[in-house]
Amino acid sequence: MTETADHPDAYPPSAEFAAAANVDAGIYERAAQDREAFWAEQADCLHWHERWNQVLDWTDAPVAKWFVGGRLNVAYNCVDRHVLEGRGDKVALHWEGEPGDSRTITYSDLLAEVSRAANYLTELGLTAGDRVAIYMPMIPETIVAMLACARLGLPHSLVFAGFSPTALRQRIDDAEARLVITVDGQWRRGTPAPLKEAVDEALLAKGDVPSSVEHVLVVRRVGTEVEWTEGRDLWWHETVAQADPVHEAQAFDAEHPLFILYTSGTTGKPKGILHTSGGYLTQTSYTHRVVFDHKPETDVYWCTADVGWVTGHSYIVYGPLANGATQVLYEGTPNFPDEHRHWQTIEKYGVTIYYTAPTLVRTFMKWGRQIPDAHDLSSIRVLGSVGEPINPEAWRWYRDVIGSGTAPIVDTWWQTETGAIMISPLPGITATKPGAAMTPVPGVSAAVVDEEGKTVRRGETEANGYLVLDQPWPSMLRGIWGDMERYRATYWDRFADQGWYFAGDGAKLDVNGDLWVLGRVDDVMNVSGHRISTAEVESALVGHSGVAEAAVVGASDETTGQGIVAFVILTAEATDTGATMVDELKAEVAREISPIARPREIHVVPELPKTRSGKIMRRLLRDVAEGRELGDTSTLVDPQVFESIRAGRTD
């Protein structure tokens, strides 16, 4: 640790790191002087079939157009370009299967696979603009499928393979997907778990209404028996694998939709976040290059996220592949067959850049430092964090134990909606502080403001504010699929007068003006870096015949950041009111949404605290769940209600 004059606990980069870094401190000023020229320079790192004639068109705000008139192919940029420039033999993916199998895929291999898939999807009759749902685990074919869609201009919608059939169907219906790509099953801690079966269940007709899906394309991964619907179901190895490995990529408009990715909002219905091509690829590749100081010739990069989330889209698939990265892709859990798996993998491939979530760092801490200490992790030179605020204790442990006490940590703040990293240190420039995301990356502009939109003063710890983005950015979402009104209402109404994007996060500025993200200020929980809305869990609970009313809050949790705590009122018909009921309700939520949404605690209570207008006071429930003294109860109809809730808690 080095003490600097203005902060007693700041960690500047070493002189060697700074000297070899991809960018120097002047980049901030260059970007600020002419933001559009700066972004144009970043876009010029890509291959354009036709160059744009205008960098930004913001006249239709809040829907931006970036690189207007430009035409490109995203897959060509991620694959073909590297092969054509003589890097075909470079490894794109070191894939590590959970059972211990592995595959090495070069950029030439990837080009052949993506071309085959593109040829076969064309044969199936899919044309630019058609939607494809991808419900797959962490295997190379998932990336091939995504890139084949991108190559053909088919917006993909990844559905995390841990989601339930109900959640899958909801997403298929919303996007009206014509094709689902999936696997027979996925490996989970040594056991094959069915996945095709979940697709079959999801696609069952709802009454008279069939799903929009015409075909289900199935990759064989675990080799278990699967039910087969003739005419609808197709094996990947009998179709894609037999197709022609040559395919010529066509160019699409810079604003052609690239993907839809659903994320939780403050209502029960997930939002289909829409991203487009040119701006998205520009900002994901730029941030991957500068935030991780990525050097394609020497780095081995590993992002541990799942491809089903936005981190996987932007920092496993599009950003790194556009930059010609060599990366590790790991299929399984970090403790299979034991807790050494990640560190063995880092040793095996010589990983230099490692990007993960704070919840995993805290899990590693719990397992103990003797586990990573048993391995040579000296190859690591940059560490990244994403998904939730990282607590200073975990930050220091991460740097000391995994980063040998020297690797800079980039704490990257961004969202599904922002598409790419927005606020983060740059590893060769910033003197980082444990727990702070620090400053917007060059080209990005953010502010911390109060209710009225006035900038909060530095160092005012009491006066925490809202994080807003006050300038458009290339990888910004272009809307919510099928619901542009919700897009405006969710992100732009809050600070409509100023025209700012409301991120939904609280933040503060310290005395040096560095930014600390404090967590969500809306009804969205963050459990192990996964966004889950309280409304979604409540609706799954009241879907059970035994539940009359439910209120859900996120309570702080040592490992997962937040844990889901539910308070339920049972119906008169509910026969069981004890532990069996609680278990059944937990299972119901896991089934309806996903095991990641399973409540940590469910309390059966006689009443819920409500205001006179009937609104449930979640703030007070959070106080109860976290064992605090109650805050202001003056607006409650019946303050006595807490006596009974507390009594219920001790059951």
CA distances from 628 to 484, 625, 651 (A): 40, 8, 18
Q: Is the peptide bond before 155 cis (omega within 30 degrees of 0)?
A: no
Instruction: Check residue 425 for interaction with ligand WTA (CB under 6 A).
Output: no
Q: Which helix (H) or strand (E) holds 279?
A: helix 278-291
Torsion sign over Cα 619, 621, 627, 633: positive
- Which listed residue (11, 39, 302, 414) binds ligand WTA by CB under 6 A? 414
Amino acid type, 277:
S
Q: How far is the CB of 411 from ligand WTA (least distance, A)?
A: 5
Instruction: List residues bridging with 550 in a β-sheet.
Output: 568
Helix axes 579-592, 534-542, angle to 10 degrees: 120
Using CB under 6 A as the binding criterion, the count of chain residues that bind ligand WTA stands at 23
Cα separation, 119 vs 129, whole angstroms: 16
Instruction: Check residue 446 for interaction with ligand WTA (CB under 6 A).
Output: no
Residue placing its CB nearer to ligand WTA in the complex, 258 or 585: 258
Instruction: Check residue 416 for interaction with ligand WTA (CB under 6 A).
Output: yes
User: Are residues 79 and 147 in contact, defined by beta-carbon separation less than 8 angstroms?
Assistant: yes
Residue placing its CB nearer to ligand WTA in the complex, 240 or 437: 437
- Which listed residue (526, 528, 560, 594) binds ligand WTA by CB under 6 A? 526
Instruction: Check residue 475 for interaction with ligand WTA (CB under 6 A).
Output: no
Instruction: Check residue 311 for interaction with ligand WTA (CB under 6 A).
Output: yes
Answer left, alpha or beta for residue 169, where phi above 0 means left and psi between -120 and 50 means alpha.
alpha
Instruction: Check residue 411 for interaction with ligand WTA (CB under 6 A).
Output: yes
- Which listed residue (310, 322, 426, 641) binds ligand WTA by CB under 6 A? 310
Q: How far is the CB of 392 from ligand WTA (least distance, A)?
A: 13
Instruction: Check residue 426 for interaction with ligand WTA (CB under 6 A).
Output: no
Residue placing its CB nearer to ligand WTA in the complex, 317 or 645: 317
- Hunting for tokens 């675990």 — which residue is that? 222
Touching ligand WTA, residues 502-521 (CB under 6 A)? 503-505, 517, 519-520
Structure token digits, residue 402? 């995994």
Q: Annotate each residue in 554-573 with x if it binds ligand WTA (CB under 6 A) or - if it does not, as one string.
A: --------------------
Residue placing its CB nearer to ligand WTA in the complex, 503 or 582: 503
Instruction: Check residue 282 for interaction with ligand WTA (CB under 6 A).
Output: no
Amino acid type, 268:
G
| DSSP 8-state code for residue 650 | T
Q: Annotate each residue in 359-388 with x if it binds ligand WTA (CB under 6 A) or - if it does not, as one string.
A: ---------------------------xxx
Helix axes 26-33, 35-43, angle to 10 degrees: 110
Instruction: Check residue 412 for interaction with ligand WTA (CB under 6 A).
Output: yes
Instruction: Check residue 623 for interaction with ligand WTA (CB under 6 A).
Output: no
Q: How far is the CB of 78 from ligand WTA (least distance, A)?
A: 20
Closest of 254, 290, 274 to residue 56, by C-alpha: 254
CB-based burial label for 207 (10 Å; 0-12, 13-18, 19+): exposed
Binding footprint of ligand WTA on the chain (CB under 6 A)? 263, 309-311, 386-389, 411-416, 437, 503-505, 517, 519-520, 526, 531
